[in-house]
Amino acid sequence: MLNRDKFFIGGQWVAPSTKETLDVHNAGTGDVMGRVPAGGEKDINAAVAAARAALEGWSQTPVEKRAEFLEKISAGLKARAEELAKLIAQEVGMPIKLAGRIQAGLPIANFANYAKLVKGFTFEETVGNSVVVREPVGVVGAITPWNYPLHQITLKVAPALAAGCTVVLKPSEVAPFNAFLLAEVIESVGLPKGVFNLVTGLGPTAGEALVKHPEVDMISFTGSTRAGKRISELAAQTVKRVALELGGKSASVILDDADIATAVKATVSGCYLNSGQTCTALTRMLVPESKYAEAAKVAAEVANSFTLGDPLSESTRLGPLTSAAQLERVRGYIKKGIAEGAELVAGGPDAPQGLPGGYFVKPTVFGKVKPGSTIEQEEIFGPVLSIITYKDEDEAIRIANDTLYGLAGAVWSKDDAHAQKVARRIRAGQVDVNGGAFNMNAPFGGFKQSGHGREAGVYGLEEFLEYKSLQLKG
């Protein structure tokens, strides 16, 4: 059992204001794996006060020194990478091989990357008779999700610290232990007191207290669109800056001249990464009507090749969902798809055989899904793929764009120029062209109700900076 009974505030481990705790479950077994404190307004107030007190000193710390701390944090995480991967595999359910590369590897890389980026960043320039300066936005409240817990924490904390901001982190209560490990690393490298603070708790209590706090200058949130709307409402009362990375319903558009087998295999893999618990998951596969039968056959074969199992097993390709609530939600959507008349090509709502515990759902594929239906429009956040047919390219683009979301997408064609032309017409923050690789320095974020603001690379650093103009006398 992992039991954490203190918060990291002002450079110290301090007792919470209440005795309430939150159970954290092992995704692979369903058992309670540990507990964390359920913080509230008093704890948030203490953390914000510590961050505010540390702001002036940290914001004036030379860029090279801030970069040095980021490098040390990266090294500290790297030294505990194996422990981190195993921990998040249990919290979230991602198979251990992938957890090592993604859940542990990306945070290690991003802390180091921001150390490099900030050293080369131009913090001031001369424009006419003005010196235009970039300054830290101030105290940042970071509220993060459970699906890529430390990765999403890092995409907020690393650039915020690089920019000269101080941070109060409220991680997801579903997968919080990795945040405590980060706090231990931060403590070990000697980051000045109050620059980074950690409080765990529920969204309606700790989260809302952080968003409403008048001494918090910015909220950076990753999570559901519903929660993002609530945060926007609360933050408006103090006119603080808000960056939101929200839901998605991303379309993989397979054009008529594409290699069907390659495109379908990559799309299914893009849908099932982290058991479909990925905001950019390619959950809608658009194929020409004439290619439907072939695409459905390949999709079923690929889906059935994803072996379910213990996330700590090296042979597991598809782990469990993260929680009982997620399991109920995803199975509910699968039942809804069947009820609405979609063709069940693979998987289904029944519990998979041979897995006694954990939050497992069969890798599922629906065919002949109608545009506008529930499973075609709503974010399911599980390993559920919808195949939609189209008559011509214009209809494909219209269907791809016809959701509330605009986070990601993909286009497949044997003609790269043609694929890029179609990709430019898709209203989404990032579009993979013929399987283009993830780029940690490219801007990450969405259009429409997928949010606003960008994370990653220099674009993520700029989110935590304000402009100031010094008008000089000639």
Active-site residue set: 245, 279
Q: Could you tell me if 103 and 122 are in contact, meaning their C-beta atoms sit under 8 angstroms apart?
A: no
Residue 128 token pair: 């006419």
Q: Quick check: helix, strand or coil at residue 221? A: strand
Sign of the four-CA dihedral 155, 156, 160, 166:
negative
Question: Do β-strands 451-452 and 408-412 pair in parallel, antiparallel, or remain unpaired?
Answer: unpaired
CB burial of residue 63 (10 Å; 0-12, 13-18, 19+): middle
What is the token pair recorded at 454? 């960008």
Rounded to the nearest 10 degrees, how much is the dihedral formed by the CA atoms of 7, 92, 71, 109? -160
CB 144 within 8 A of CB 171: yes
CA distance 272 to 203: 27
Residue 57, classified by CB atoms within 10 Å of its CB into exposed (0-12), middle (13-18) or buried (19+), is middle
DSSP letters spanning 8-74: EETTEEE--SS--EEEEE-TTT-SEEEEEE---HHHHHHHHHHHHHHHHHHHTS-HHHHHHHHHHHH
User: What are the structure tokens assigned to 56, written together?
Assistant: 């002036």
Are 414 and 258 within 8 A, CB to CB?
A: yes
Question: What is the Cα 48 distance to its own chain's centre?
Answer: 24
Q: Buried b vs exposed e over 164-199: b needs ≥16 C-beta within 10 Å?
A: bbbbbbbbbbbbbbbbbbbbebbbeeebebbbbbbb
Determine what percent of the chain falls in helix, strand and coil, rounding each to the nearest 5: 40, 20, 35
The one-letter amino acid code at 192 reads P
Nearest to 38 by CA among 208, 211, 207, 200: 200
Can you count the helices (H) and strands (E) in the chain?
A: 16, 23
